Every structure is written in structure tokens, then in C-alpha cells.
Amino acid sequence: MAPPIAIDAARREVLARVRPTAAEEVALDDALGRRLAADAVAEGPFQPFDNSAMDGFAVRAEDLAGAGDGVPVALDVVDESRAGHPAGRVLAAGEAIAISTGAVLPSGADTVVRVEDTEREADPDAPTGPDAAFRPWVGRVLVRVAPSLGANVRRAGEDIAAGETVLRAGAELGPAELGALATIGLDPAPVHRRPRVAVVTSGDELRGPGEPLGPGAIRDSNSRTVPGLARLAGADVVSVDWAPDEPEATRAALGRALDADVAIVCGGVSVGEHDHVKAALAKLGAEEIFWRVALKPGGPTWFGTRGGTLVFGLPGNPVSVMVTFLTFVRPALISMAGGDPATRRVTARLGAAYEKPTDRAHAVRCRLELDERGWVAWPLPRQGSHVLTSMLAADALALVPADSAGLAAGDAVEVELLDRSTMGR
Ligand code: AMP
Ligand code: MG
């Protein structure tokens, strides 16, 4: 039997076999979490025109050179520029145009004075009463400041220049990215198709919710954790199936799963008398790339391909399945959808000593705490691969290297973040 493969090498083997999914056009309303399949380039500038940063008056700075608190300068208000409604005339010397935030700077104007720095004379002809139609205010305004040239003006293209690449292919679309795409008018946007994932859980002992447990039976948790992890990694879970510990039925369930982009079978992949997954995969023509990784929990992990399908056989223990998914499957799904599969890691200090033999790497479930010197990773007390509730309290997986004989309290350790909402995204 070949020795277990190191986790970094295993990850490289997986990523080397990823083929990105095709691009599709998706409306921005449905594109949250997707990744761009092409660079997003702005045709025109944003904002498209010079405009006001304040509510106030568009003016010529030179008209107000002598203005001050005690020496207001009067300007004739000749028009209004509202957001979405530019003024209809050019500003001349001695004039002001009332302007709203975001409204077009009228031609002839070079500066905006804030409404707070002015005083308006009443408009004696203004219509009154609830039915009065809107009429731009006319009259005079007294300005009490001498603004610098260009004050309170936002130039066209200050945010985005014409021709600028706003987002690169592969960018994950979060709220800011969706807003940026809307700003440049790219809707729908070209994004990678979600990888299709088929999940199979295996084991005679497994029961779904509501089924009577009976002697020796347990609830199937992997059929919930694995699809959840897959969806958070951007996948479309197309099926969740179950196979008993029987060769024919295992082969039938796996055969259906192999039509997806990624097939994940949980459990039954070890060397027990009743583990049929490896034999079934071989019969179905899946090629083994590696079996067994130097990782605890998660040793008996199998990876192979059939045609373009990536096939993962993950160990059935509820923690092992989550750790191996995060370590090997998640990077594959992200890379398949056009993203960067690098995991989010920080260096922390270990809160308490952790001992281990120098054989395989350990992924230690930890609670993270921030003190004045940085992150501290506290190993959770129950590290058994069957203790699923330890994942409820875990913030991160501390990665203790294979060749380490253990770490003392205070030693530096790399931790992979398990962001609660995104599981390490
Ligand atoms: P296996 O990998 O099939 O040898 O299973 C290892 C351990 O994980 C056994 O204790 C199984 O009962 C348990 N297990 C396997 N599959 C699941 C599952 N879907 N949900 C909960 N526990 C499971
Ligand atoms: Mg089993």
C-alpha cells in the first residue's frame, strides 16, 4: 500500500485536475457569490459628468474672491440644477445656479458654495399653498465665503475612468462588486456556471429524519453538512443519495453521482469488510489519483477522476468529512468556478500545548481569541473525529505539521479560518 500523501501535495493533485466551468450570463440580482468569467471594463467614466458634492450654489470662484463673513457678495440666482435635471442655461459672471448633490455642474460654473455658507433673499413671487407647482427659486443669494477654485466639485471619472478594468475575471461577486457592475451597466454579467455536485452517503446504520432508529442505527448528518459546505463553496447540489453497505447498490448510487462535475461519497471508503466504495468506483471506471492522506482527522480520503468528473471519497466520521471537504473539495469547487482556491490563513499562538506523533498533519479544532499580541488558538477539548458538536464551537483549524512532535503553549501555528457564515471563504 502506498504511503499517505501529504496534504499540500494532495491539494495540488486535486487542483491540477480542475477544469473551470463554462461562462453564462446571469442577472446581477441572481449573481451574488458567483465569480466573473471575464474582466469587467467600464465603457465610460463614472461619474459621467462633473457634479456637485453638496447642496448649494454653482458659481464662478472669481466672482467671490472678495467675499467673507462681514462682506457678503450677492449673486443673481438664475436657474436650478437638480439631480437628474441639469440646468437649462450657462452661468454668466455675477450669477449663481442653485444645485443639489449629484446634479450636473452647469457650464460656466467652476465651483460650488455650500448652502450653509449662504443666505437667500426671499422670493416675493413664489407660489404658495399645497397646489403650488414647482418653480425654480429665483432672486439673490448672499455668499459669505470666498471658495477655492473647484471647491465641492466632483470631477467626471473620479471613481472610474473610461476604459478602466473595474473587476478582473475570477472576482467573487459580493455586494460591492454587484454595485460596481451595476455602476458600469454590466447586467447581466458573465459568470462561471456553478459546479454541479452530487453527494452520496453510505452506511447501513444511517437513518434520515423521522425514520425509526432501531438497534445500531444513527442519524445521517453528512447528508446535511456536506451539501451545506458545497453550497457555501458556490456549488449547485444536484442530488443527495444514500447507499447501503452492499456492492451493487453502492455501484448504482455512485453511477448516478458520476454524471455531476464533482461526486462526493461519504463513508464506506476505508478498508473494512463492508466498505464497498473503492471497488465500486474502480468498476465504474474511476481512476484513482490518491488514497489516504497524512491528515488527522481524515486519513482514508480517496480522490480520483472519471472523464471530467472529480470524485472524492471522504471518510464517514462527521468531523473527518467536514475537515476533508474544507481541505480538498472546497478549493476544487472554488477553482472550478474561476476563483482563487487559496485558503484564508492567519498565524496564531497556540493557547495550550498540543502533543502528537510525527506521522501526519493534524487539523485541530480551535476557538480563536484576540489578545494584545494577536490571535490565540485554543484547542477544543474533544478532538475525536466523531464529535460533530466540536465543529459548533470551532472558529478555525490549527494545522500542526506532519513532522511536528507537538507544540508548546505560545508556539506559532498556522490556522485556517472557519468563518461562521462562509466556512473560511
Ligand atoms: P465509514 O467511513 O463508513 O467507516 O464510517 C465511519 C464512521 O462514520 C462510522 O461511525 C459511521 O457510522 C459514521 N458515519 C458514516 N457516514 C455517516 C453519516 N452520513 N452521518 C453520520 N455518521 C456517519
Ligand atoms: Mg460505513
Share of the chain above pLDDT 70, in %: 94
Query: Would you say 34 and 191 are in contact if contact means Cβ atoms under 8 Å apart?
Result: yes
CATH number at residue 331: 3.40.980.10
pLDDT (0 to 100) of residue 123: 63
Query: Would you say 336 and 262 are in contact if contact means Cβ atoms under 8 Å apart?
Result: yes
CATH number at residue 118: 2.170.190.11
Cβ contacts of residue 388 below 8 Å, gap of 6+? 221, 225, 318, 319
**pLDDT beyond 70 at 423:** no
Q: Answer yes or no: do 118 and 92 share one domain.
A: yes
Query: Would you say 379 and 392 are in contact if contact means Cβ atoms under 8 Å apart?
Result: no
Q: Answer yes or no: do 96 and 115 share one domain.
A: yes
Q: Look up residue 159 and give its three cell numbers.
A: 471613481
**Domain contains 423:** no
**Domain contains 424:** no
Q: Answer yes or no: do 29 and 82 share one domain.
A: no
**pLDDT beyond 80 at 130:** no
- The pLDDT tens digits for 268-315 are 998 899 999 999 999 999 999 999 999 999 999 999 999 999 999 999
Query: Would you say 336 and 19 are in contact if contact means Cβ atoms under 8 Å apart?
Result: yes
Q: Choose one of 339, 355, 390: the last residue of a domain.
A: 339
Q: Answer yes or no: do 359 and 274 share one domain.
A: no
Q: Answer yes or no: do 226 and 166 share one domain.
A: no
Q: Ligand 1 in contact with 203 (CB < 6 A)?
A: yes
Question: Which of 317, 320, 391 for mutating ligand 1's site (highest number of atoms within 8 Å of CB)?
Answer: 317
Q: Answer yes or no: do 171 and 107 share one domain.
A: no
Residue nearest ligand 1's atom 16 by CA:
316
**Domain contains 57:** yes
Q: Look up residue 170 and give its three cell numbers.
A: 475570477
Query: What is the torsional sign of CA 168, 423, 329, 411?
Result: positive
Domain ranges, residue 179: 25-47+158-192
Mean pLDDT in residue range 232-249: 97
Q: Answer yes or no: do 29 and 177 share one domain.
A: yes
Q: How confident is the model at residue 343 (pLDDT cuts 50, 70, 90)?
A: confident
Q: Answer yes or no: do 164 and 148 share one domain.
A: no
**Domain contains 1:** no
pLDDT (0 to 100) of residue 373: 96
Torsion of CA 264, 266, 269, 272, to 10 degrees: -170
- The pLDDT tens digits for 102-123 are 999 999 999 999 999 999 876 6
| pTM, to two decimals | 0.91
pLDDT (0 to 100) of residue 422: 45
Q: What is the enclosing helix (H) or strand (E) of 288?
A: strand 287-291
**Domain contains 2:** no
Mean pLDDT in residue range 175-191: 98
Q: Choose one of 301, 324, 339: the last residue of a domain.
A: 339
Q: Answer yes or no: do 15 and 122 share one domain.
A: no
Q: How far apart are the first and last CA of the chain?
A: 35
Nearest to 264 by CA among 297, 228, 210: 228
Mean pLDDT in residue range 332-358: 95
Place of cell 433673499: 121
pLDDT (0 to 100) of residue 84: 97
- The pLDDT tens digits for 50-76 are 999 999 999 999 999 999 989 999 999
Place of cell 473560511: 424
Q: Ligand 1 in contact with 266 (CB < 6 A)?
A: yes
C-alpha 314 – ligand 2 centre gap (Å): 11
Mean pLDDT in residue range 412-419: 92
Torsion of CA 380, 383, 385, 391, to 10 degrees: 0
Q: Answer yes or no: do 125 and 99 share one domain.
A: yes
Measured distance CA(101)–CA(56) in Å, rounded? 8
CATH number at residue 168: 3.90.105.10
Query: Would you say 236 and 262 are in contact if contact means Cβ atoms under 8 Å apart?
Result: no
Query: Would you say 136 and 80 are in contact if contact means Cβ atoms under 8 Å apart?
Result: yes
Nearest to 309 by CA among 295, 338, 289, 327: 289
Q: Look up residue 321 and give its three cell numbers.
A: 468529512
Q: Answer yes or no: do 136 and 105 share one domain.
A: yes
Q: Choose one of 289, 316, 339: the last residue of a domain.
A: 339
Residue 315: what residue type? P
- What's the domain count of the chain? 4
Question: Which of 200, 204, 206, 213 for mutating ligand 1's site (highest number of atoms within 8 Å of CB)?
Answer: 206
C-alpha 381 – ligand 1 centre gap (Å): 22
**Domain contains 72:** yes
Range of weakest confidence among 298-302, 396-400, 417-421: 417-421
Q: Answer yes or no: do 200 and 277 share one domain.
A: yes
CATH number at residue 377: 2.40.340.10
Mean pLDDT in residue range 325-333: 97
- Selected residue with higher pLDDT from 342 and 330: 330
